[in-house]
Amino acid sequence: MKVDLSNDFKEKYRNLMGDRADSLFESIEQASQEAFRLNPLKANYKNVSYSLAQPIPYSNIGYYGAINGNSIDHLSGYVYSQEPSAMYVTELLDPTGNDKVLDLCAAPGSKTTYIASKMASEGLLVSNEINPKRAKVLSSNIERMSITNTVVTNNSPKDFEKKFNNFFDKVLVDAPCSGEGMFRKDPESVKYWSLDYVEQCANRQQHILDSTYKLLNQGGTLVYSTCTFSPEENEQNVAWFLDKYPDMHLVEVKKFPGMEDGRPEWANGNPELKKTLRMFPDRFNGEGHFMCKMVKDGEPEELRERQINDGLKKDDLQLVQKFAKTNLNGLTQNNWLKISDFLYQAASLDNRFKGLHILRNGLKLGEFKKNRFEPDIAWILALKPDELKTVYQLDQEQFEKYLHGESVILSDRPDFDNKWIGLAYQDKLFSWGRFSNKEIKNVYPKGLRR
């Protein structure tokens, strides 16, 4: 694979890396390493059609190998494609269900969905993306992966400062960068690269880090990462940040084979910068990445949730209860929130979110329509089979037709007492079906049809 590296790029890294630069350039000409993660939020989550023979050593749910985006494993949220270097970022963050976590630059969602899987639907995860189109992709991926504890926002980091001062226990800044580490995965990105672009990215990252400091609680953890080799965006920005905020300090992290220390000599010479971590594709089985873990000194400030919850009107509540009684094996009312005609199981009812542009608050359960309640695709993706009255297993032909928007015609009338049933293929729930007579009518969202 030919990647047309500019002379400025080659000269820069020859000056920094000497003879090793040629090894780096050669690695950029090689095929990228593909990998994927399993989703432990799913029932029987290891039941996938992909080989688990090559586990990634630092992730208990990561594996080397490629996946098909049209497979049932992908459509139902059992697997997520993520290159192996990027997986280690979430391992450094180490989120738990007791944390309030912010993923500040979250699209398209690979790191956010990994974070959510480690939180096991507990705690609070705020996933923000400033670009509106990318924020929609982020929201869609969160929906597919059965995530219920996440608020998806479309705001600038500055928008968070007054509302969430010293609020988050853990913050991930996977900063927008010059993308040098992804040149072989995305050769088109080479065209945008220039020395000036690197400087622009570094300046933007400093503004993001400034906001991040204000959002992080005392005793909290910040993980900063980029997918570029550039010292300006990596060691130099970390050095700048540590100098500006003396109560932040780097934490030593485990480095697996192929991972390397950061380069203090590429910044201000601070030996602490060796605690940062680099991955170069000539020595590591993955794309180019930089990451580090920092902690803010002090004792955490206990912050109470400023809760708002108007509850559901009696008529709406009865419609949901009627739906649940007919179609589900029980229902727990937990943080229900009605927005317009849509019902959510909210990840947070904290009024700090008021005024932010929210794309998704927790799990979208469904929509109220003319004296009835219709469930949303997000809900079926988050349910386990034993939570449904009826799960109907499609065969391959029925599955393919359903993905195309066709209904399923049944030769015999089955003994279904309920109208809404869960549809599964290869034992994986992927959609609702609306049963009537001998037909399962197609309610698969048009935007997902193949």
Q: Mutual orientation of helices 132-144 and 110-119 as an angle, nearest 10°?
A: 40
> Residue 32 is encoded by which pair of tokens?
């990228």
The helix or strand, by DSSP H or E, that contains position 221, with its residue range, turns out to be strand 216-226
> Residue 369 is encoded by which pair of tokens?
């329509």
| Start-end of H helices in 273-414 | 314-327, 377-382, 396-403
d(CA 212, CA 72): 38
Tell whether 414 is in a known binding site: no
Q: Are strands 168-174 and 150-153 parallel, antiparallel or unpaired?
A: unpaired
Tell whether 110 is in a known binding site: yes
d(CA 338, CA 346): 9
The residues, any chain, with a CB within 8 Å of residue 361's CB and separated by 6 or more, are: 151, 152, 337, 339, 344, 346, 347, 348, 353
Tell whether 202 is in a known binding site: no
> Quick count: other Cβ atoms within 10 Å of Cβ 140?
18
Backbone angles phi, psi at 304, to 5 degrees: -85, 150
d(CA 57, CA 436): 49
b/e burial code for range 409-428 (CB count within 10 A of at least 16 → b) = eeeeeeebeeebbbbbbbeb
User: Do you know the residue count of the chain?
Assistant: 450
Please check whether residue 106 is in contact with residue 112, taking contact to mean a CB–CB distance below 8 angstroms.
yes
Tell whether 346 is in a known binding site: no
Q: 293: which strand partners?
A: 223
**Does the annotation mark 201 as catalytic?**
no
**Cα–chain center distance at 385:** 24
d(CA 170, CA 142): 19
Tell whether 174 is in a known binding site: yes
> Residue 431 is encoded by which pair of tokens?
């959609």
34: three-class secondary structure by DSSP: coil
Please check whether residue 276 is in contact with residue 252, taking contact to mean a CB–CB distance below 8 angstroms.
no
Catalytic residue among 177, 201, 227, 292: 227
Alpha carbon dihedral 308, 312, 313, 316, in 10-degree steps, equals 160
Tell whether 177 is in a known binding site: no
> Residue 350 is encoded by which pair of tokens?
């904290």
> Residue 38 is encoded by which pair of tokens?
């399993």
Tell whether 107 is in a known binding site: yes
From 386, 385, 387, 367, select the one nearest 377 (Cα to Cα).
Answer: 367
Q: 124: which strand partners?
A: 100
> Residue 158 is encoded by which pair of tokens?
């500055």
Which residues are part of the catalytic machinery?
A: 227
Annotated binding-site residue numbers for S-adenosyl-L-methionine: 105-111, 129, 174
Q: Which residues are annotated as a binding site?
A: 105-111, 129, 174
